[in-house]
Chains A and B, each alone.
Chain A
Amino acid sequence: MQVKDIMQSNVRSVKKGTTLSQLLISFKDFHSFPIVPVVDQEMVLLGTVHICSFFEIFQPHQDLLMRNPLSMISREPTDIFNVDIEEGMGFLIIMADIMDTKIVKIEQSADIRKAFDLMQLHQKTAIPVVDDQKKLVGIISIFDIVMKIFHEKGLI
């Protein structure tokens, strides 16, 4: 079975220039923050914003510095309760500043087993799905795969 058969096609994506405030307002009614694809005008996938992307706001340049292991002062988690964020930052920070460019994606024609393996390897619960021109066409999650299996087994 192919990814496109079970993926979610109705995906909310953002642009590189979308502001942090716009993003937060757009997803404030979700019960948890999903993986949000960042795309260009042609819907080509540029990156993703996920819950960990917000840490870039608390500790800027983290991605750049992680490439030098000795740049870590310690491996303590970010103390998000003790940071001062100014009001205007909601409009100043855009997706290009915080998006994760380490893209894990899958082609829509790939087998769902491959999608599952990829999510296991990268410890992701969902990944963007692209066509052969790297354009975003959907998102597939482990839940989609599990639902498919349950459906086949007659649970639902």
Chain B
Amino acid sequence: MNIILGVGIILVFGLLSGKLAEKVKTPAITAYLLLGIVFGPFMLGFISEDMLKVSGTISNIALSLIAFSIGQNFSGKIFRQVGKQVMWISILEAVGAWLITLIGLLFFKVPAYMALIFGAIAAASAPAAIIMVVREYKARGQFVDILMGVVALDDAWGLIIFSLSLAVAKAMYLDLSSSLGSMLMGAVIEIAGSFLVGGVLGIILSRIGLFLKNQTDLLIWTIGVIFVATGIALHFHFSVLLTSMFLAAVVVNLNNESFKFFDILNHIDWPIYLIFFVLAGASLEIDLLSKIGVIGIVYMIFRIVGKFLGTYLGAHIAKSDDDVKKYLSLGLLPQAGVALGMALIAKEQFPQAGNIIFTTVAATTVIYEIIGPFFVKLALHKTNQIHN
């Protein structure tokens, strides 16, 4: 099957599976992932090896668009809007999940670079599954407002933690013989390079964007600059995620009408995400599932502990209610798109360990997507946010 036919089939069936998912109250991303597994080489085989080869390129495009969108959170206006509680909780629950998962996996003798990556992926949560529960139960109240703020922001912190961890993990993995200093230097160059590329292109995107007079030009210009930024980052082995996020962060702070660069992408991004998640499902190596036992269980449990402790500490610092301290972390357990994206990057960067990481995250994603909504409901019940 040629690639164009393959992509066409993915889009058509992706649309159908998304509709089906809606009927059974599941986020579309889970449906895309399952469709990928069914179409992939381990089951029906519709998605050929040729297509899986281009999945790296599609992943980079999708992840740069995701990181660009999430990067718009980094503005003073947004930080003021969400308030102190959301800021503290979102930062500390993301860092908490990272740190506790990292420590937990190190305790179980998982190599440090792998533990770092798992820890970073643990920080991400899945807004779609959480929103679905909140909407289904028409939950309202202050707890829901804080939960929504935290959910909206924590992927932004997660992407930063992941990019930093990945840079350190790569340096550790590639230079096992070298000193800590040179390892850190490699990571610093990667991060600084990403900031430089994102920063310079952010200024250019913003300034030239002032002269554009119609939506078509704006769309072409925005995608063009994001691709240039992503391409340069890939060429110099900088972080695609950090580059795109910083590009967005610069634009959002420089330009009063920066929302136009983000809103315009809504017209084209969804089909790209659909293909990205179906191909992610297809690249899942099902035969590895049996080998993830201990790592998977440790990852799942320590992530929950980390989210709880981080939330508790953040809520304590921000002087939140006891309900927020005790129950907010229950609402942050679902995990899906961003975590899978991170795992795919890890798969690309670490040929052997990457497969274990990706398969583990894909499997735990499915489990979290099943049990996560139950805990969200529990949190909403416990805090009296469901009024009917």
Contacts and interface: CB of A to CB of B under 8 A. Distances in A.
A70 interface: yes
Contact of A70 (B66, B213, B256, B257): B66
Per DSSP, are chain A's interface residues mostly helix, strand or loop, or mixed? Answer: loop
B282 interface: no
Contacts of A155: none
Nearest to A64: B152
A67 B269 contact: no
Contacts of A69: 65-66, 69-70, 265-266, 269-270, 273
Interface string B151-187: 1100110000000000000000000000000000000
Interface string B223-242: 00000000000000000000
Chain B interface main SS type: helix
Interface in B127-171: 127-128, 131-132, 135, 138, 140, 145, 148-149, 151-152, 155-156
B66 to A, nearest CB: 6
Interface stretch (A6-14, A117-125, A135-143): A117-125
Interface residues of A, number: 26
Contacts of B151: 65, 71
Interface in B260-296: 260, 262-263, 265-266, 269-270, 273
Interface in B295-347: 336-338
Contacts of B337: 70
A104 interface: yes
Contacts of B82: 64
Contacts of A84: 138
B270 A102 contact: no
A2 interface: no
A74 interface: yes
Nearest to B71: A67
A64 B149 contact: yes
B212 interface: yes
B73 A121 contact: no
Given A67-B73, A69-B273, A123-B215, A102 B259 contact: yes
A72 B152 CA distance: 11
Nearest to B252: A67
B152 A65 contact: yes
A70 B126 contact: yes
Nearest to B77: A101
B148 A65 contact: yes
Given A71-B151, A74-B18, A122-B260, A59 B73 contact: no
B29 A70 contact: yes
Given A65-B127, A69-B66, A121 B215 contact: yes
Interface string A66-98: 111111111110000000100000000000000
B28 interface: yes
5 contacts: A60-B140, A64-B152, A65-B151, A66-B266, A102-B263
Interface of A: 59-61, 64-76, 84, 101-104, 117, 120-123
Given A75-B266, A102-B263, A120-B213, 20 more contacts: A61-B145, A64-B82, A65-B148, A67-B72, A67-B262, A68-B69, A68-B127, A69-B65, A69-B265, A69-B269, A70-B155, A70-B273, A71-B127, A71-B128, A72-B28, A74-B18, A84-B138, A103-B256, A104-B257, A117-B213
Interface of B: 18, 22, 27-29, 65-66, 69-70, 72-73, 77-78, 82, 126-128, 131-132, 135, 138, 140, 145, 148-149, 151-152, 155-156, 212-215, 218, 256-257, 259-260, 262-263, 265-266, 269-270, 273, 336-338
